[in-house]
């Protein structure tokens, strides 16, 4: 790819992100028509080719619908949201902290349920190679925490550990879902600075349970670990005056 193509691709990414931000923020509201390509190009200072590329991506993601005459209408987020888009909605909700932390808490509650199920199955179906990979990834995560690496590096290793955990479960759907929430681990949504989302010691205990094929313990440990993450999110909501819990009950004892 030559320099011009790379620049065009970057521009399309940037324009897509700006248009997405407009949809999420309500600048472009559900069922409204998008401004014309010409007007959008003038407003954003980009060429028609770049703008059409960005709009096409949003159409393919289900956020815009093309009508006769090439008009574009905004689709209601509730009808087209997927996990990747939900993470982007959360990242763009900085100006609406109650909305942001409600969505984050709901997402963590879902992850807590999912990972408890993954831990249960992983203890039954894991193999020795997968265990070795998990050990390697936990050591790498711990090393990056001790070196105070950036959020992206630490989150990438933690996410890879969870990904191998999902692979151990033998369920392709688990892996697909974990892959789709990468930004939950690598962004500062759940953790900032040089920390993992879940303490490394908790993950070591999970892995030991999986190594012993103790499915009950693996499930309970992951449930408890992610409940602590959920508690942190609920604390943020309570500071904002929120009085209801968006998810479920507290976990049982490991």
The band of 241, judged by pLDDT with boundaries at 50, 70 and 90, is: confident
Residue 169 lies in a domain: yes
How many CA within 13 A on the CB side of residue 158?
Answer: 29
Q: Are residues 121 and 147 in the same domain?
A: yes
Confidence of residue 95 (pLDDT cuts 50, 70, 90): confident
Residue 166 sits in the same domain as residue 89: yes
> 32, 61, 80 — which closes off a domain?
80
> Which domain range does residue 9 map to?
3-80
Mean pLDDT of 214-228: 96
* Closest-CA residue to 220 (of 139, 123, 134, 105): 123
Q: Is residue 250 part of a domain?
A: no
**34 is a domain residue:** yes
pLDDT confidence of residue 200 = 95
Do 96 and 160 lie in one domain? The reply is yes
| Residue 247 pLDDT exceeds 80 | no
The DSSP line for 75-107 is PPHHHH--HHHHHHHHHT-TT-HHHHHHHHHHH
Residues 19 and 92 in one domain: no
Q: Are residues 24 and 116 in the same domain?
A: no
Q: What is the CATH number of the domain that holds 154?
A: 1.20.120.530
How large is the average pLDDT for residues 61-66? 91
**155 within a domain of the structure (yes/no):** yes
pLDDT at 90: 86
Reduced to 3 states (helix: H, G, I; strand: E, B; else coil), residue 66 is strand
**Residues contacting 136, CB < 8 A, separation 6+:** none
116 and 211 together in one domain: yes
- Residues 50, 104, single domain; the answer is no
Would you call 64 helix, strand, or coil by DSSP?
strand
Report pLDDT for 92. Answer: 81
For residue 83, name the pLDDT band (cuts at 50, 70, 90).
Answer: confident
For residue 9, what pLDDT is reported?
58
- Under the banding of pLDDT at 50, 70 and 90, the label for residue 6 is very low
Label residue 171 by pLDDT band (50, 70, 90): very high
Among candidate residues 31, 24, 13, 26, the one with its CA nearest the CA of residue 85: 24
pLDDT band at 89 (very low <50, low <70, confident <90, very high): confident
Pair 48, 161 in one domain: no
If one counts the domains in the chain, the total is: 2
d(CA 86, CA 182) in angstroms, rounded, equals 12
Residue 207 lies in a domain: yes
Average pLDDT over residues 48-55: 93
For residue 31, the SS3 value is coil
**Which of 80, 103, 129 marks a domain boundary?**
80
- Report the CATH number at residue 41: 1.10.10.10
Structural contact between residues 33 and 72, judged by C-beta atoms closer than 8 angstroms: yes
- Mean pLDDT across the chain, nearest whole number? 89
17 and 102 co-located in one domain:
no
Task: Indicate the residue among 80, 100, 117 that finishes a domain.
Answer: 80
Considering the domain architecture, whether residues 94 and 47 belong to the same structural domain is answered as: no
- Is a pLDDT exceeding 60 seen at residue 11? yes
Give yes or no: residues 106 and 30 share one domain.
no
pTM (whole model) above 0.85: no
Query: What is the mean pLDDT of the segment spanning 11-40?
Result: 90
State whether 114 and 235 are in the same domain: yes
């Amino acid at each position: 790819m030559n320099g011009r193509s790379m620049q065009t691709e970057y521009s399309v990414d940037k324009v897509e992100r700006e248009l997405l931000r407009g949809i999420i923020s309500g600048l472009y509201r559900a069922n409204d028509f998008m401004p014309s390509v010409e007007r959008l190009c003038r407003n954003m200072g980009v060429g028609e080719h770049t703008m059409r590329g960005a709009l096409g991506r949003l159409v393919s993601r289900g956020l815009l619908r093309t009508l006769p005459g090439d008009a574009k209408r905004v689709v209601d987020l509730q009808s087209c949201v997927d996990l990747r888009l939900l993470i982007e909605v959360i990242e763009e909700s900085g100006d609406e902290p109650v909305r942001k932390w409600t969505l984050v808490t709901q997402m963590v509650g879902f992850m807590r349920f999912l990972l408890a199920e993954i831990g249960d199955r992983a203890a039954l179906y894991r193999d020795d190679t997968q265990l070795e990979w998990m050990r390697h990834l936990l050591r790498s995560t711990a090393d990056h925490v001790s070196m105070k690496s950036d959020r992206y590096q630490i989150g990438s290793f933690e996410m890879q550990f969870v990904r191998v955990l999902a692979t151990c479960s033998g369920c392709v759907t688990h892996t697909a879902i974990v892959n789709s929430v990468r930004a939950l681990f690598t962004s500062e949504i759940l953790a900032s600075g040089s920390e993992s989302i879940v303490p490394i010691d908790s993950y070591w205990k999970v892995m030991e349970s999986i190594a012993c094929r103790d499915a009950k313990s693996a499930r309970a440990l992951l449930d408890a670990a992610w409940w602590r993450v959920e508690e942190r999110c609920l604390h943020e909501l309570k500071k904002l005056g929120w009085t209801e819990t968006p998810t479920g009950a507290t976990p049982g004892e490991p």
